[in-house]
Amino acid sequence: MGSQSRPLADRSPDMWRDKFTSIPRDIELWEAYSKERDVLKNEVRSMLVSAGGEWTDKLVLIDTVERLGVGYHFSECIEDMLADMHSAHEKIESYENYDLFTTSLYFRIFRQHGYSVASEIFNKYKEADGKFSEAITNDPAGLLSLYEAAHLRIHGEAVLDDALAFSTSRLKSMAKSLDSGSLARQVRRALEQPLHKGIQRIEAKHFISFYEESTYKNDVLLKFAKLDYNLAQMLYKQELSQVKRWWAALDFDSKFPQVRSRIVEAYFWAVGTSFEPRYALARIMFTKMLCTLSVADDLYDAYGIIEELNTYTKAIERLDIESIDGLSDQCKLCYTTLLNVLSEYEETLVKQGSYYYDVYYLKKAFQATMYAYHKEAIWRNKNYVPPLNEYLINGSASSGLCMLGQ
């Protein structure tokens, strides 16, 4: 075993080092922000409940609340508003009275919330030749709204394929001539990162700055969004610090320096998946699982020789502490880390009253991922290049998505 060369990869060091390991919590500031936020929250709720007037105004209010990143506070209220609007709208025979901005916003908001909205509502903006009318390029806000709506297209919706191509082309040309105001910045941001494909926390941060520059901003809503964002950031830092300390206690840096330390990146993924404060525990466990998966990936891909990986994979089949005998020191560290994370996850679910099958399927997903890693290690050891289909079948497991979906 010792005579074989290890497939050591050239790993970049952790760029964050100890930056987030110890973050003091300002209790007084937290309480002050929370108190002020709660007062403003009631005011924003009143805005939503009492919203009347034109459909455009209601849709803009809902969209603004959600894009500022505070929609989760009012999810039931927003769903009730949309249900009432949808019920009333079914009695309306045509969309002809809507301008491009409202039509596109209506389509995007209702599709985002799971309603069935026909894409044919955009046909009225086409000429007889089937192409979108150049006249709508005189409405930058409407064109941007169309662009964002088109990203919610599904397979076979040709009108939205055309809408996306048209709006993208015209916005790119328009971006060069728009002034430096809020709309211009929104156009440039949308072309770089469409809203529907963005990470909610990042998009909220951008939109807060856009909204602050808007002449139509509501100061109460803006202040509420800022306070809520800052409170969430304070919470995220504490969670990240907790996970960083967990990782430091494992001492991979000295015991197994060949594996990557990607705590911050893993936590960022967790926030992107579930950003609401109430999912704190889910983010922490998700991050630990991602880090554990990253360790296993490096063990199979960037350190282990085939004999020790064969032994390690046999231990993975059992997932119990008795299987640790015969493993190398590095494999033992990886194995015990995995067992401890699974045990912590199981204990957490039990406390919350969840069922055993949740852990059962998570273990099965971990095993499936490890088996796929092992197969790739065998391929590497044999200098075997698999056909594309064989590679894709194994890659669907080695990607780790089956585990992250549990």
Residues 273-299 pLDDT 10s: 999 999 999 999 999 999 999 999 999
Assigned fold of 229-404:
Farnesyl Diphosphate Synthase (1.10.600)
Domain boundaries, the chain: 51-217, 229-404
Tokens linked to 119: 């894409």
- The pLDDT of residue 32: 98
Residue 256, burial from CB neighbour count under 10 angstroms (0-12, 13-18, 19+)? buried
Taking the C-alpha atoms of residue 367 and residue 346, their distance in angstroms, rounded to an integer, is: 16
| Cα distances (Å, whole numbers) of residue 164 to 94, 126, 167, 188, 303 | 23, 13, 5, 15, 46
- The pLDDT of residue 180: 74
304-333 mean pLDDT: 95
- The pLDDT of residue 1: 45
pTM of the model: 0.91
- The pLDDT of residue 191: 97
- The pLDDT of residue 2: 45
160-170 mean pLDDT: 98
Taking the C-alpha atoms of residue 398 and residue 148, their distance in angstroms, rounded to an integer, is: 33
Nearest to 73 by CA among 221, 270, 269: 221
Nearest to 313 by CA among 296, 330, 289: 296
| DSSP result, 170-232 | HHHHHHTTS-SSHHHHHHHHHHHS-GGGS-HHHHHHHHHHHHHH-TT--HHHHHHHHHHHHHH
- The pLDDT of residue 104: 97
- The pLDDT of residue 404: 64
- The pLDDT of residue 357: 64
Taking the C-alpha atoms of residue 196 and residue 255, their distance in angstroms, rounded to an integer, is: 42
- The pLDDT of residue 91: 53
Tokens linked to 198: 């963005």
Residues 364-406 pLDDT 10s: 999 999 999 999 999 999 999 999 999 999 999 999 777 666 5
Confidence of residue 356 (pLDDT cuts 50, 70, 90): low
Give 126's strand partners.
132
Q: Are 369 and 316 in contact (CB under 8 A)?
A: no
- The pLDDT of residue 12: 76
On the question of pLDDT at 166 being above 60, the answer is yes
CATH, range 51-217: 1.50.10.130
Residues 2-40 pLDDT 10s: 456 777 666 777 888 888 888 888 999 999 999 999 999
b/e 175-202 (16+ beta carbons within 10 angstroms → b): eeeeeeebbbbbbebbbeebbeebebbe
- The pLDDT of residue 93: 46
Task: Out of 64-68, 207-211, 212-216, pick the least confident.
Answer: 212-216
